[in-house]
Chains A and B, each alone.
Chain A
Amino acid sequence: MSKNNEHDGLDLRGTLASVMVVGVIIVVMWVVVYMMYLGR
């Protein structure tokens, strides 16, 4: 695999923030349904 990387120097802070929002949605939805499961 090549050492020189076309992605170095790209500013992707917004991307990281966005995917983290996606991650939080995934975790929250999962926890909500898990709580419903435990409550039944």
Chain B
Amino acid sequence: MIALQDRKLALWYIGVAYIAFLIGTLMGLLQVFIRNDKLQLPAWLDYYQILTAHGVLLALIYTTFFIFAFFVTGMSKSIGTFGPKVRLVSWIGFWVTLLGTVLATAMIVAGEASVLYTFYAPLMASGWYYVGLALFVVGTWISSFALIGHYRVWRKNNKGELSPLFAFMTITTIILWLIACLGVVATVLFQYIPWAFGWTDTINVELSRSLFWFFGHPLVYFWLLPAYIAWYVIVPKILGVKVFSDSLARLAFVLFILFSIPVGFHHQLTEPGISNFWKFLQVVLTFMVIIPSLMTAFTMFANFEISGRKKGATGLFGWFKKLPWKDVRFTSIFIAMAFFIPGGAGGIINASFQLNEVVHNTLWIVGHFHITVGTPVAMTFMGLTFWLIPYLTGRKFTKSMQILAFVQIITWSIGMLLMSTAQHILGLLGAPRRTAFSNYNNHPSAMEWFDGILTSHVTMAVGGSILFLSAMILIYIVAMSMFLSPKALKVEDQVEFPMAESDKTHTPKWLENWWIWIGIAFALIIIAYAIPLSSMIMHAPPGSEGFKTW
């Protein structure tokens, strides 16, 4: 087991993550009923306020806090206990991140920030909302630097050696995050905050949107990569095999540093102010970032097949039956991976230049991120939660908890399948996202959306209700594992941190030369962004004043 002080830090992160999860999923439940016209909110509460809270709490807060819990635990496990300086800086990072979270959430609750988590100008929230977001990012940076410091100590003590795979992947994710945040920090610090506090009168809208999406797309990879770490490093251990290929795993991760950032324009394909050339260039770069995911798909199936064949499976698909289905740590993550197949395929469609016109800002997109971040990422985190909390608290993951965990992931899968399928189809029919109930004056097209069995808001509501039930079961499991489950006094009751062995003997050393990857990443960013961003600044129209339209 890792050091007590490191466990405490990780547990605080998880605690905040699941408080955010609890409130965020409740907001999700309210939404599906409002969209179904079955629920009228009291006058002091607005649909878009709830939607903002749902997005911020789940997509930003739950993910980020859980990711740091996972990183702290895994780094302590793979490269050793944190030194006093690393620990102090980590705690400072935690509290700053939490302060930012509380400030931003308070502004949402106060109705001063119903601007959704994309906070597009010139919708103008209270300046304190943006200060909260800035503190949140700065807090994660402090925590990131603590982890980098910890890693550097290890490198210094192990000269010439490649770091353990978990540490390598953590550092990759952190580098990605640090570079990605430059965009959002630039726009929040230099555009939104001076404007929202009235120090400047107007804002350059198109520039703020582009800087947001410079951050917005790698943000999704910041969620996805920790899930990939679990897929690459933890799943093989549960399957009883080694990491399929240490070098290919590392290569896939560095490709994400290169290609997940210079691609933000694919979120802006249908808007003015960016010429077709630059949009298409970033579409091409977006397609490059699909390649490491294709590599990952192969590695995952290879793990399954090698494990199954070791257990005596024969034939083309015999290995499938030999997978450890009764182990919820595995089954949860397997389902998460399965959801990522249509999720990833949908992502390719979204990024396909003019095809984006079919799906942009429709419910398809909502369906898309519920089967990318909402299940592949979130359910991987659930699959980790089941053992991570008992591992940290030294409690048992009891038989009854394991059964409950199965109920939880199965209900989540069913709920998500119903809801996201409905959303995908409704989106293709044209139903807009981020929109409260409206029948558009009984327009026949809008009425059609509500008709079918799958293509209805009813299916979405049923799906959403099942999801909420599942979320509450998870909260129960979390609370039990945190505070109430019996202590694991005997060694055989203790929960392990499954971390697969990885054979580094054939892995080239240059993979861990970070300056190469950071250098190429910045070169690609300059190629993709320098000219269009500077033209946005030089040919800017008169700026926009702030509006509070809620």
Contact = CB atoms under 8 A, between A and B. Distances in A.
Interface stretch (B140-148, B296-304, B492-500): B296-304
B345 A26 contact: yes
Given A25-B341, A26-B345, A30-B345, A37 B358 contact: yes
A34 B344 CA distance: 16
Interface in B305-347: 305-306, 308-309, 315-320, 341-342, 344-346
A26 B301 contact: no
A40 B346 CA distance: 19
B246 to A, nearest CB: 10
B297 A22 contact: yes
Instruction: For chain B, give the interface size range.
Output: 35 or more
Contact of A19 (B297, B317, B345, B357): B297
Nearest to B302: A15
Contact of B428 (A2, A34, A36): A36
B269 to A, nearest CB: 13
B526 interface: no
B508 A1 contact: yes
Interface in A1-40: 1-2, 5-7, 10-15, 17-19, 22, 25-26, 29-30, 33-34, 36-37, 40
Nearest to B314: A11
Contact of B349 (A6, A12, A13, A30): A30
Contacts of A2: 505-506
Interface string B409-448: 0000000000000000000100000000000000000000
Contacts of A12: 301-302, 305-306
Most buried by B among A2, A22, A34: A22
A15 B355 contact: no
A19 B301 contact: yes
The secondary structure that dominates the B interface is helix
A37 B428 contact: no
Nearest to A4: B506
Contact of B357 (A14, A18, A37): A37
Contacts of A11: 305, 309
B475 interface: no
A14 B305 contact: yes
Contact of B355 (A5, A26, A33): A33
B451 interface: no
B173 to A, nearest CB: 24
A15 to B, nearest CB: 4
B346 A37 contact: no
Contact of B316 (A10, A17, A19, A34): A17
B202 interface: no
B344 A30 contact: no
A29 B342 contact: yes
Given A12-B302, A22-B341, A29-B342, A6 B358 contact: no
Interface string B210-237: 0000000000000000000000000000
A25 B320 CA distance: 19
A2 B505 CA distance: 9
B301 A29 contact: no
A29 B316 contact: no
B401 to A, nearest CB: 32
Contacts of B505: 2
A25 B294 CA distance: 13
Contacts of A13: 316
B191 interface: no
B508 A29 contact: no
Contacts of A5: 506
Contacts of A29: 342, 345-346, 349
Contact of B506 (A1, A10, A15, A26): A1
B352 interface: yes
B317 A33 contact: no
Contacts of B358: 33, 36-37, 40
B506 A19 contact: no
Contacts of B349: 29-30, 33
Given A12-B302, A19-B301, 15 more contacts: A2-B505, A5-B506, A6-B506, A12-B306, A14-B305, A14-B315, A14-B318, A15-B304, A19-B297, A25-B345, A29-B349, A30-B352, A33-B428, A34-B355, A37-B358
13 contacts: A14-B316, A14-B318, A14-B320, A15-B302, A15-B305, A17-B316, A18-B305, A19-B301, A33-B355, A33-B428, A36-B358, A37-B354, A37-B358
